Amino acid sequence: MSTVEPRDPRRPVAQPGTVSRLLTGIAQCLKWLFLSLMFSILVEWIGMVFWWEEQGLGHSRQMLVNELQFLGTDFHRSWLTAQPMVFASNLSDRIYQFAFEWTGLVDLIHWITPVPSAEETGLRPVLHRFYRPVADYVLAGMQITQVFAVRLAILTLATPVFGLFTLVALVDGLVRRDLRRWGGGRESSFVYHYAKKAAIPLIIMAWVLYLALPFSLHPSWIILPFALAFAFAVTITASTFKKYL
C-alpha cells in the first residue's frame, strides 16, 4: 500500500508566473463580460413580459438608437482612436458576426421564419411552430447584444479617464504621504490594505453595471462617479503607504 509523503512546510509553494496570471486575468475579464451580456438579455426578456410589454421589441431597438446617439454626440474624439463611431461600428459588427453569423443563427432564423405551406412537411414546420412565439425575444436578444457592443466600445474609449484620474490621485496621495512622513503622522496598514483592495473592484463594478443596465443612461453618470471613487481609493492607498521602505 502506497503512502503519500507529507509536504515539507519549509519547501516554498510554487507561485503562478506572469503568463499564467495574464491568462487568468483575461479569462476573468471574459467571464464578467459574458455574465453581463447574459444578465442584460435576461432582464430585457423579463421586462418584455412585465415592465415594457407595450414596447416589446421596440424597447431594445430604442436602446440601441440612444446608445449610438450618446456615442455620436459626446465622443467626437478619443485618445485611443480618431474615429470613435467607426471604432464602435466595427466592434459591433465583429461581435454580431461572431455571435450570430459564424454560428449560423442568422441563417437558421431566415430559414424557419417564413410561414410554411399546408403541404410542407419535415423539420422546418416544426421549428417554425416553436420559433414563432419566441421570435421577438430572440430578436431582442440580438439587439441587446449590439447594445452591449456599443456600450463596450464607449467604456473602452472612456478608459483614459480612469488613467487621468489615477495620475492626479497618485500625485496627491504621494504628497500626503510625504507630509505625513515628515510631520510625524500615524501609519495605518488597516486603511492601506482595504483601500488597495477596493480599487480594482470599482473598475469592474463600473463596467458590469453600465453593460448590464436595462435602460439607456448617459455613460457619464456611470463612468465619472466610479472614476472619482477609484481615484479616491488610489489617493488613500498612496497616502497611507508605509512611511519608511
Q: Which pLDDT tens digit goes with each residue over 215-241?
A: 888 888 888 888 888 888 888 887 777
Q: How confident is the model at residue 130 (pLDDT cuts 50, 70, 90)?
A: confident
Each residue's pLDDT tens digit, 103-124: 888 888 888 888 777 777 777 7
Residue pair 135/199 in contact by the 8 Å Cβ criterion: no
* pLDDT above 70: residue 7: no
pTM of the model: 0.76
Name the one residue in this structure whose C-alpha cell is 503512502. 3
- What whole-number distance in Å separates Cα of residue 186 and Cα of residue 182? 11
Q: What is the pLDDT of residue 4?
A: 52
Mean pLDDT of the chain: 78
Contact (CB, 8 A) for 159 and 226:
no
Question: Is 148 a residue whose pLDDT tops 80?
Answer: yes
Task: Report the C-alpha gap between 108 and 94 in whole angstroms.
Answer: 19
Pairwise CA distance, residues 115 & 105, whole Å: 18
Task: For residues 218 and 199, give the distance between their C-alpha atoms in angstroms, rounded to a whole number.
Answer: 23
Cα–Cα nearest to 175, from 239, 243, 244: 239
